[in-house]
Structure 1
Amino acid sequence: MTPPPYAIGIDTSLTGLREADDLLRDIAADVGFPEDAFGCTHLVRDGDRPRVALSLAAGSEAVVEAVRARLTSQGYRVTEGAWDHAGRAVLYPGAAALTGTLTVAELVSRSAIERVRVLGRPDGPDPATRLVTREFVRPQWQDGELVLAAMPAVGGTLVPFEVPDPTPCCADH
């Protein structure tokens, strides 16, 4: 699957992924963004202003233009297209169905995720391998595919590489 053809970028002053995820979900809910569309976060490092930007993409130009108009009227800086081709997907078709423990095959069949990549392994996992979603599945676009990075966990299962509640750097100092 390739990203939908119509996309906009939304500049933010946010520096944390959790806040960016929340803003992306709030914007999508506010504008009625369709469930078959995509919403991604992008790490932007230009100049003295590193931040997390957003993108929204859909198969309909009219939908994206309506979202652009609404966001612009709310004071957001909106640009043409996504920030880059490696966005971290927060909203994507099937995301809501990825709860509990699923096999890799179920994860792929229920969502827009096309492939699971296990860190440190050259080959993909067996489709019957169980993946504990933790209700937090954030795949990334890689070469036009939505790919979930996973890592081995207890009992031969996998878990998504990105954790829902990361420990802040230097939290114990």
Structure 2
Amino acid sequence: MTSPHHAAGVRPVIGVDAGTATLREADHLIHELLDRPALSEDVFACTHLHRGDERRGTAVSLVVPDPDTAWRELRAALPEGAGLVLGELTHGPDAAVDSARRAAAAPPASGRAVVYPGVRHLTGTVTAGAVLDGTAVERLVVLGAPAAELPREARILTQDHVRPEWREGVLTLVLVPAAGGLLAPFEVPNPTPCCADHI
């Protein structure tokens, strides 16, 4: 499956810095934002750590079908002090805009994907083939054996939490061995899931 970020010139990326400090907070923000009509379908949302002189935390990038409508909805929905960037459009204080701009420019070079085509199907145990054929994930690697070819029938215990990362323009899911001969995503769910109702 081809990911929307591969057509970034056609579908602009919106950068958002709403002051979220952790990945968990940024995940929660993404799922809250997806409740808005312009952000509800065919969205690609990633998190990006930033460490500026004035601001530290986790910003978000969004690729949406209708960026102009999404821009208006985001301006109305985000708290005061949030930064937004869409091309040459900016909104918010300079430090927040700066981190939002870096987030918008990051994919597909870097970023951690939270929402992407096919993610809703990654529940329970799935095969490697199902991940590659049915989602935007393009590559599977096992930690400690990055060159190993993973059989399509290999089973992956998703734990309903699959966060691939952009690596050199390829959306890559890092896996680790799990009990019972299964594999599992390297990133495990937070012990207190924040977004269970949204997945």
How would you bin the TM-score normalised by the shorter chain?
Answer: 0.7 to 0.9
Show the counterpart of 2:158: 133
Q: Which of 18, 21, 41 is 2:47 aligned to? A: 41
Q: Could you tell me which amino acid in structure 1 is paired with residue 176 of structure 2?
A: M
User: CA RMSD, aligned part only?
Assistant: 1.9
Q: Which of 8, 13, 17 is 2:19 aligned to? A: 13
2: CA distance, partners of 1:153 / 1:159: 6
Superposed CA deviations along residues 86-120 of structure 1, whole A, max 9, x for unmatched, are 11111101111101101100111121111111111
Q: Could you tell me which amino acid in structure 2 is paired with residue 106 of structure 1?
A: A
2: CA distance, partners of 1:31 / 1:84: 25
1:139: Cα distance to partner?
0.6
Distance 1:124 1:80, change over 3 A: farther
1:156 aligns with 2:181: yes
Q: More displaced, 89-98 or 40-49?
A: 40-49
Q: Could you tell me which amino acid in structure 1 is paired with residue 106 of structure 2?
A: D
- Note the residue ranges of structure 1 that are not aligned, 5 or more in a row: 168-173
TM-score (ref. length: structure 2): 0.76
Q: Which of 105, 128, 132 is 1:104 aligned to? A: 128
Show the counterpart of 1:87: 111
Q: Percent identity?
A: 38
TM-score (ref. length: structure 1): 0.86
3-state SS in 2 of match to 1:29: coil
Show the counterpart of 1:170: none
1:26 aligns with 2:29: no
Q: More displaced, 77-86 or 129-138?
A: 77-86
2: CA distance, partners of 1:24 / 1:65: 18
1:36: Cα distance to partner?
2.2
1: CA distance, partners of 2:140 / 2:63: 22
Show the counterpart of 2:95: none
- Note the residue ranges of structure 2 that are not aligned, 5 or more in a row: 88-103, 193-199
1:43: Cα distance to partner?
0.5
3-state SS in 1 of match to 2:70: helix
3-state SS in 1 of match to 2:190: coil
The total of aligned residue pairs comes to 164
